[in-house]
Structure 1
């Protein structure tokens, strides 16, 4: 898809947010002690005896246990295994300038990936090894305009990654493959094996 369309789909998903599956909600609301607090972001939290006290626009709420779903943040420079060369990786903000109503710094920090989910170089020739790193997680979101890494993406994206890796491995060893293909091929058997069966035309001399 064109960059503008991929970006539009990504920002559309980001602004819409995501929801739990309906069956998960149906299971939760069956419990009489389940309560959903709408429009109640936490503005602060502190210990409250053996509990936790959260401050919200609707007042303080005490919790026995807390599971924090913080979402994703894409920052390649803060990823230990990428930090040393993160400045060589092409990002969406390096490649695409969205319209004023679709500006988004968070999406701009996502890597701009190739068709096989591989990293691309910000400056061609400076870090060719980046093509050997493939991204199959939410950081690939903007490059494909759809969520990546969840179950629905398996059928669509895993074959693309596998195909790209297979192609790269083959082309990296192309010289050896070519030598093998063009190497002399030994005879499967000697001509003596079929010599008695070779048809020989016999001369017929007409009598005068």
Structure 2
């Protein structure tokens, strides 16, 4: 039996009522007007060589980048630009390498709505498909979530520039940050910004992690789960998938649904994780309190969550296990992989297996040094391992490589009084988790994260321009009283005499 969540976005779109969405957009405009939002622009303009300097440049136009941009606009910071290398409407993972049928998050989470009811996914969905369809909806179909984000961008008129790839990010002596931006048709542009937000998603500051055992394999024989995989070419072939994450099962299912002859899942653990531990303590306390925890408690919380591991959704596992040609190999870390002319030989403690193609659903690393565009700042950025010594029984290299951020999501220097521009480069992605909690990439708390970030940037911009704001205070001379609204009783008595 096909669940409601598995129906295609196209089927639902066919039943859409355009008038409903127009009414929702009118309501949103009214709500914003009642709240006097967005605030009027207030940041003094800055120019260099007759060019306007951006107050904020946001790298990444996915959910995090859009939410950050929206909150900045609501706070009256209009001189901003979002850059994304993808074509319009294909930002983020949702219709690229995300291969689940539905989102993991419960449908009722408000996500990037910034506490505006008319901006929620539910409001957008009900406006088009009605309350009964919402009540019947199990989870949000992945492609519909992307449709919602496209609407979010359009209705808020967010300044996203597509086909814009950041080649380099360079701090300048005058405190500004210079971005070398490559466009679609060649030719680079130099963009100057006062603040830069790295809204680079789950990939964060690093990239896909592939274990050392695969380093010498022919590239046409394997792929990371975040890559563009031609699943149609796997029809009739033997596929191996490494990992037990949601992504592992989504990729395994995609291969099976494309007609793979078999899929072998190699799982290091002796059994699949079953409990999503952080869900059990989700609360406003966690959202707002994590950043204030002592370092040892931050490490303890995230180390335990990482060791417990997030289980794959039940639906994702069932999507694979219903195929007879799917085989689960638990307690099977990869001891070695050998490539011959016809196949890959995968060696585990339990045996040797032959596959034609391997998919590594092995997550991402956070090593800033591996990203060419960050080469100018990477040597200066302080990581947690540079400052904090974790308990010997709680090792975690991914946590250790996390940037040691300040309360504004900004980088900090390894050595004092070096690379001052780091305080204006904000890490609003998965790599911020150890400092701030999971506020910069996941749906549940993305609005809280964006509001913390945007308010911090607003405060920094005001402080940086305090002399100009003070001069404006002195110069302000719009009178609210004309001088004829009262009389001085003592002056009248003095004029009349004794």
- TM-score of the superposed pair, with normalisation by structure 2: 0.36
User: Rg larger in 1 or in 2?
Assistant: 1
Q: Distance in 2 between matches of 1:100 and 1:86?
A: 27
Matching of residues 47-196 of structure 1 within 5 Å: 47=340, 49=342, 52-146=344-438, 148-187=440-479
1:127 Cα deviation from its structure 2 partner: 1.4
Residues 94 and 31 of structure 1: CA distance in aligned 2, closer, same or farther (over 3 Å): same
Contact kept? 2:430, 2:438, Cα under 8 Å:
no
Residues 169 and 16 of structure 1: CA distance in aligned 2, closer, same or farther (over 3 Å): same
Stretches of structure 1 that go unaligned for 5 or more consecutive residues are: 202-208
Between stretches 3-12 and 138-147, larger displacement belongs to 138-147
Contact kept? 2:440, 2:450, Cα under 8 Å:
no
Between stretches 19-28 and 2-11, larger displacement belongs to 19-28
Match for 1:36 among 317, 328, 348?
A: 328
Contact kept? 2:439, 2:449, Cα under 8 Å:
no
Stretches of structure 2 that go unaligned for 5 or more consecutive residues are: 1-292, 493-498
Alignment size in residue pairs: 200
Residues 148 and 52 of structure 1: CA distance in aligned 2, closer, same or farther (over 3 Å): farther
Q: Distance in 2 between matches of 1:19 and 1:153?
A: 20
**Once the two structures are superposed, what CA deviation does each residue of 1:75-98 show, in whole Å capped at 9, x if it has no partner?**
222222222232221211222122
1:113 Cα deviation from its structure 2 partner: 0.8
Q: Distance in 2 between matches of 1:27 and 1:182?
A: 67
Residues 190 and 3 of structure 1: CA distance in aligned 2, closer, same or farther (over 3 Å): closer
1:145 Cα deviation from its structure 2 partner: 4.9
1:162 Cα deviation from its structure 2 partner: 1.7
1:189 Cα deviation from its structure 2 partner: 8.9
Partner SS for 2:451: helix
- Which residue number corresponds to residue 312 of structure 2? 20
Between stretches 8-17 and 98-107, larger displacement belongs to 98-107
Q: Distance in 2 between matches of 1:105 and 1:64?
A: 31
Q: CA RMSD, aligned part only?
A: 3.3
- Which residue number corresponds to residue 46 of structure 1? 339
Contact kept? 2:382, 2:403, Cα under 8 Å:
yes
